[in-house]
Amino acid sequence: MPDVVIVGAGLTGLSAAYHLEQQGVRDILICEQEERPGGLLRSHTDQGYTFDYTGHFLHISNPAFRQFIDDCAGLSFFGSIERKSAIFMHNVHVPYPIQMHLYGLPAEVIYECVMGYLQRSSRKKKIDSFYDWALFYFGAGFVKHFFDPYNARLLSWPIKKLHAGWTGRFVPQTTVQQVVRGALVPADATGVGYNSSFLYPQRGGIEVLIKGLLSRITSPVYTTTKVVKIDQQKKCIYCADGKSYTYRHLITTAPLDTTVQALARSPHDAFAGVARQLWCSSLININIGYARQTAQPYHWVYFPQPTYAFYRLGVWNNISKHLAPAGTSSVYVELSYQARKTKRSAMQGACEQAIEQATSYLGLTAQDIVSQVTLELPHAYVTYTPWRARHLAGLLSALKEHDIYSVGRFGEWKYSSMQEAFEDGYAVAAHIVARRKGGH
Ligand SMILES: Cc1cc2nc3c(=O)[nH]c(=O)nc-3n(C[C@H](O)[C@H](O)[C@H](O)COP(=O)(O)OP(=O)(O)OC[C@H]3O[C@@H](n4cnc5c(N)ncnc54)[C@H](O)[C@@H]3O)c2cc1C
């Protein structure tokens, strides 16, 4: 019997295996439903273009993560890039973040944003929703013109029904001087926010990191092995290919809603009905390779207005020139929907519109398109509902009582980065090693 079974060979699962092996644990089995490991960090190539599952840029604040990347893939293989990102609204590009860069927008928009900022309440009331949070820190104008429409498009969810914990920590705070100055003159966006610069592989896409990590792991990865049932009493997982494996400890990085559905049912089931409470957005990531170059200089652009079918567009060849053949360009656009409310087939018209709009926005034509790869992310952004805020910790603890560690972005049902996936793998490995030392 393997000591540890890991469900999912994305960054979290592989980081867990790496750290367990570092601590001398050898009897590990990794089950991955897809044909190759990597999860969201896989890259696809088509006709000389390389596409990731939308932009995956490395923001490193933990020295251990930096060291890990160096050990796995070699830091010299990564370019350090200063962010060039913008918001496109009212036919104008303003640099990100908008709260410091109103200059150039229509006067009425600037007026509403500045007045809203100055008139916002300085008394901290109880902040329940993300809407309250944005209103308190940025005022009614910024909420109306950016925070509300953009986040609602990203998540396909109204922000008044989002818990205040949603991504606030990533939004750059601002001062009255920055708002007013940014409204009067073009301001410098350098160094603002957690993502003002980032690392990205010079060649090969983000999967380079996974390939390097796999070369440092000896545990077997069983691909095309989907775990469909977990018997928490017998400590056994059952796979779609008919095979089953018992375990002492189960680490699962599969989405939490699918994990609770895979559990064996019991009469007094703490997990019954839970999956229905776990909401997330699904994402359609359309990648397009063009035979000609675009003049757009940005790495990525936010589209808060519903005139565009997509809410974000990124230019791959501006991130690394090796992602597209010389003299050409390649982009990604992102469309969001809630799969329990909207069928994927109902998004087809929006996808076609998105391709047309992206092509025209880039100053290119349909005849320039030489490659098109659509990647589907059924789980993309977890919806921070009030239910999640109340029940998530208890749910994860209940699983732990059965020696099931549900970890990672979707395992812990959270918004998190690659660095956090590395840290989640490290933390669960340390926990299991400590339990083994304690005789469990
Ligand atoms: C749109 C988007 C953009 C992002 N951009 C960035 C960024 O710029 N920078 C950054 O740092 N982070 C970014 N992230 C976050 C980053 O992708 C995640 O933090 C990280 O990849 C999570 O890794 P994971 O292993 O937890 O999940 P995953 O990569 O989803 O891996 C889970 C694995 O489990 C497998 N699996 C699922 N169910 C089963 C099953 N039943 N049986 C077997 N296998 C199963 C899946 O196939 C998958 O391989 C982004 C995420 C998204 C969605």
Domains 101-184 and 280-382 share a fold: no
The answer, yes or no, to whether residue 172 has pLDDT greater than 90, is no
* Interface predicted TM-score (ipTM) of this complex, two decimals: 0.99
Token representation of residue 71: 């050990």
State residue 188's pLDDT score. 79
**Mean of per-residue pLDDT scores for the chain:** 95
The ligand 1 atom nearest the CA atom of 381: 53
- Closest of 67, 32, 17, 68 to residue 433, by C-alpha: 17
The CA 411 to ligand 1 mean position distance, Å, reads 10
Q: What is the pLDDT of residues 101-122, one digit of tens each?
A: 999 999 999 999 999 999 998 7
Helices 63-73 + 418-437 axis angle, to 10: 100
The CA 9 to ligand 1 mean position distance, Å, reads 9
Contact criterion met (CB below 8 Å) for 428 and 420: no
State residue 196's pLDDT score. 84
Q: Assess whether the C-beta atom of 33 lies below 6 angstroms from ligand 1.
A: yes
The answer regarding whether domain 101-184 maps to CATH 1.10.10 reads no
State residue 436's pLDDT score. 85
Q: Assess whether the C-beta atom of 377 lies below 6 angstroms from ligand 1.
A: yes
Q: Assess whether the C-beta atom of 12 lies below 6 angstroms from ligand 1.
A: yes
Q: Tell me the mean pLDDT in the region 18-46.
A: 97
Domain ranges of the chain: 4-42+50-79+202-278+385-437, 101-184, 280-382
Greatest CA span in the chain, whole angstroms? 68
- Tell me which of 3.50.50.60, 3.30.1330.60, 3.90.950.20, 3.30.70.20 is the CATH number of domain 4-42+50-79+202-278+385-437: 3.50.50.60
Q: Which of 59, 78, 226, 253 to mutate to test the pocket of ligand 1 (most atoms within 8 A of CB)?
A: 253
Q: What is the pLDDT of residues 125-166, one digit of tens each?
A: 788 899 999 999 999 999 999 999 999 999 999 999 999 888
Q: What is the pLDDT of residues 66-79, one digit of tens each?
A: 999 999 999 999 99
DSSP string spanning 112-129?
HHHHHHHHS--S-----B
Q: Tell me the mean pLDDT in the region 372-378.
A: 98
Write b or e for each residue in 269-303: b if 16 or more Cβ atoms lie within 10 A of its Cβ, otherwise e.
eebeebbeebbbbbbbbbbbbbeebbebebbbbbb
Q: Assess whether the C-beta atom of 3 lies below 6 angstroms from ligand 1.
A: no
pLDDT band at 2 (very low <50, low <70, confident <90, very high): confident
Q: What sign results for the dihedral spanned by CA atoms 117, 187, 78, 298?
A: positive
Backbone angles phi and psi of 413, in degrees to 5 = 50, 65
Does residue 168 or residue 144 have the better pLDDT? 144
CATH no., domain 280-382: 3.90.660.20
The answer, yes or no, to whether residue 267 has pLDDT greater than 70, is no
pLDDT band at 268 (very low <50, low <70, confident <90, very high): low
Q: Which stretches of 19-140 are assigned E, i.e. beta strand? A: 28-31, 43-46, 49-52, 78-82, 85-89, 92-95
- Closest of 108, 205, 157 to residue 311, by C-alpha: 157
State residue 194's pLDDT score. 75
Token representation of residue 209: 């990191």
